[in-house]
Amino acid sequence: MTARILIIEDEEPLTLLLRYNLEAEGYEVDTSARGDEGDLRLKESPPDLAVIDWMLPGLSGIELIRRLRTRPETRQLPVIMLTARGEEGERVRGLATGADDYIVKPFSVPELLARIRALLRRVKPERVAEVLVAGDIELDREKKRVSRSGREVPLGPTEFRLLEFLMQSPGRVFSREQLLNGVWGRDIYIDERTVDVHVGRLRKGLNRGRASDPIRTVRGAGYAFNDRFGKGA
């Protein structure tokens, strides 16, 4: 079962980036650009987790959280608050108001994704898959281990995250830029060819002595985890 996440944030480029990356992880995403509208959404159909910006038109993130905590259906809702740099002094107030976690802008997408996963795991463990399986490959998110046909595959941390990212959305083709955003984070400048180097290392580790390669290179587009892998392809 997939988790539904509501993002209440008025910076459209950030909302789009988060939507893209959360959907790539298999979450269902709903967004709102205003505090008062977000409040209505939370009343109408409470999500499994909400990401709420501090400064919002209509109703502030703080007031929004205060209100949702007074309603029984959202009293326990996991909430991550986004704050801008300089509001750190008010972070404590944010947490006291009832957010479960907060993250300071600008943040890296992989970090927010990790916080979301950690929070969901804590409150709704059944909604987060700990082990991704495709054919004879198993990736254990908790233990940070990958095995193929029962044998451990030694991978570096970047190769692990790259495989995790690709396995989350079998069949979906990611450009090098999308992989950089999703695996390395958008605030880090890395040459796109670095992606090729790490895909090469990942393949070497996974495919040692084997013919079947689960990773597809899509010419002119990027890379994908073969969604037919282990299904006779």
Residues lying near Ca ion in the complex (CB under 5 A) are found at 10, 53, 55
Q: How far is the CB of 54 from Ca ion (least distance, A)?
A: 7
Question: What's the rounded Cα separation, in Å, for the pair 180 and 186?
Answer: 7
**CB-wise, 29 or 81, nearer to Ca ion?**
81
**CB-wise, 21 or 83, nearer to Ca ion?**
83
**CB-wise, 10 or 30, nearer to Ca ion?**
10
Q: Which residue is nearest to Ca ion (CB)?
A: 55
Q: What are phi and psi of 228, to 5 degrees?
A: -100, 0
Residue 123 three-state SS? helix
Q: How far is the CB of 28 from Ca ion (least distance, A)?
A: 23
Q: How far is the CB of 8 from Ca ion (least distance, A)?
A: 9
**CB-wise, 84 or 131, nearer to Ca ion?**
84
Strands 215-218, 151-153: pairing kind: unpaired
Q: How far is the CB of 107 from Ca ion (least distance, A)?
A: 14
Residue labelled with tokens 């895909």: 199
Residue of 223, 113, 226, 228 lying closest to 174 (CA atoms) = 223
Q: How far is the CB of 128 from Ca ion (least distance, A)?
A: 28
Residue by residue, DSSP assigns 176-222 as HHHHIIIII-TTS---THHHHHHHHHHHHHHHTT-S--SEEEETTTE
**CB-wise, 64 or 202, nearer to Ca ion?**
64
Find all residues with CB under 8 Å of 156, minimum gap 6, and list them.
201
Q: What are phi and psi of 80, to 5 degrees?
A: -110, 125
